[in-house]
Structure 1
Amino acid sequence: MTQRSRTRTRADNEPRVLLALVLVAVGVSAIAPRVYGTWLLEVAPVLLAVPILVAGYSRFRFTAVAYRALTVGALFIALGAHYSYADAPPGEWLRAWLDLDRNPYDRVGHVIQGAVSALVAREVLLRCTPLRPGRWLAVVVTGMALALSGGFEIVEAFAGAVTGNVGEVYLGTQGDALDAQWDMLCAFGGAIAVQWMFHRTHDRHLTERLPRSS
């Protein structure tokens, strides 16, 4: 087997490995979570996204950069779903280290949400539309990431209104009346940061690895 073939094989196997990692993490997170109803609400994006990505794998295979970002997002969700975002241990460690008034795990989660959605949107736009790398692409991608973030806030508000205590834990506002606005600001920052930091790497992966979608 040539070096090129080995590289291609690793690239083909990586999405399967990442998928297995996500499925194991979600399964482990389901073992005695703080509140099962909240766990289900939290992991719902992963449970919806995985079948879609698997079903469309043969027609639209994302780059390794996008799959890795999606995996980080899914693992973050799984951990938060198990403990609840307001009580996640990494957030408590960060809270103590920075002497914060609240557990910031959800804030970090929204930064990751903005970054992941921006990478995915960027890839779809570059492969399926006439848009090319540049300012207009960044504007559209950022707008799409913000739209997704706003959609999540609407869903969260609705869930909180109809599910009582489960929804209160799910919202995890920790007494902040401007929680939704801060969440969207974090998503905005994540979307901007990931495009600034990884656009060259993303473009290289798109050029080297993938054909345009059919």
Structure 2
Amino acid sequence: MFRTERRFRKNRILQAMIGGYAVFWLWMLIKPYAWYNWWLENLLVLAAAAGLGGAYRWFRFSNRSYALIILFVALHTYGAHYSYNTTPIDRLMHEWFGFHRDNFDRVVHFSFGLLIAYPAWEFFIRAAGLRKGWSYGLTPVVILSFGAFYELIEMWVALIVAPEIGTRFLGTQGDIWDSHHDMEAALIGAVLAMAATAAASHLAHRRTTRHLPEGG
């Protein structure tokens, strides 16, 4: 089910994905909206790179999971370039849907659940030995807890590192329920991801059993 490479130097697909993201990151580094916000937002990228790189020796995700992780980080990097103010994607959403609020940040929170749920599920299956039935239900709960923890991290960063910019860094846009909606978006994304994963797993199992020889 999960195809992994033993050595990074032999994993050409992962190397290509990392190289592509590095080029994208350098592109987003050119004239960001605010340098201070850019580096604050990229603490997440640095932490993810350090964590995944340090864990590679004892646990390797499948390339599918790495692709989903890199895609999410790329979305976050895009938002960081604009300091999660009005992005070109926000302008399109305003034009197409008549939104009164910049919703790209909410798209990123939704994508966190949608894209990171599968790697988390893979970890539960392979490293924790969790049964599939339990893993489908536990993964959205864990994603929700990580989403809540990230909201706390944002608050701590705003209070400790950047108190002078306060809610501008948090990007609440005057919505007192902003953090709650962000967590809700991540939860919905995770539930959808696990529903799709469960359906795909069920179909794959049916195809496998259909081709098994009858009898003992």
TM-score (norm 2): 0.82
Deviations 1:66-103 (A, max 9, x none): 11111110110111011122312112211221001111
| 8 Å CA contact 2:143, 2:190 repeated in 1 | yes
1:115-173 CA deviation, whole Å, 9 max, x = no partner? 23322211111001231211x21221111101100010001112222313544332111
For residues 21-70 of structure 1, give each alpha carbon's deviation from its aligned partner in whole angstroms, at most 9, with x where no partner exists. Answer: 22222222222211111111212111111122223324322112211111
The residue matched to 1:150 in structure 2 has which SS?
helix
Is 2:145 aligned against 1:147? yes
Does the alignment pair 1:81 with 2:67?
no
CA distance in 2, matches of 1:161, 1:65: 37
Relative distance call for 1:85 and 1:199 in structure 2 (3 A) is farther
1:102 and 1:126, CA in 2 relative to 1: closer, same or farther beyond 3 A? same
Q: Deviations over 1:105-124 (max 9, x none)?
A: 01100011112332221111
CA distance in structure 2 between the aligned counterparts of 1:170 and 1:201, rounded to whole angstroms: 39
Paired position in structure 1 for 2:7: none
Q: Secondary structure at 1:32's aligned position in 2?
A: coil
In 2, the alpha carbon distance for the partners of 1:52 and 1:19 equals 15
Contact 2:68 2:116 in 1 (8 A): no
Mapped to 2, the partners of 1:32 and 1:190 lie a distance apart of: 31
Mapped to 2, the partners of 1:202 and 1:164 lie a distance apart of 47
Partner of 2:124: 125
Contact 1:161 1:167 in 2 (8 A): yes
Which residue is equivalent to 2:169? 170
Question: Pairwise mapping of residues 22-171 of structure 1 onto structure 2 (< 5 A)?
Answer: 22-134=21-133, 136-162=134-160, 163-171=162-170
CA distance in structure 1 between the partners assigned to 2:199 and 2:67 by the alignment? 16
Larger Rg: 1 or 2?
2
Q: Which runs of 5+ in 1 are unaligned?
A: 1-10, 205-214
Whether the aligned pair in 2 keeps the contact of 1:86 and 1:174 (CA below 8 Å) is: no
Q: TM-score under structure 1 normalisation?
A: 0.83
How do 1:195-206 and structure 2 match up within 5 A? 195-199=194-198
Q: Which amino acid aligns with 1:43?
A: N
Q: CA RMSD in A?
A: 2.1
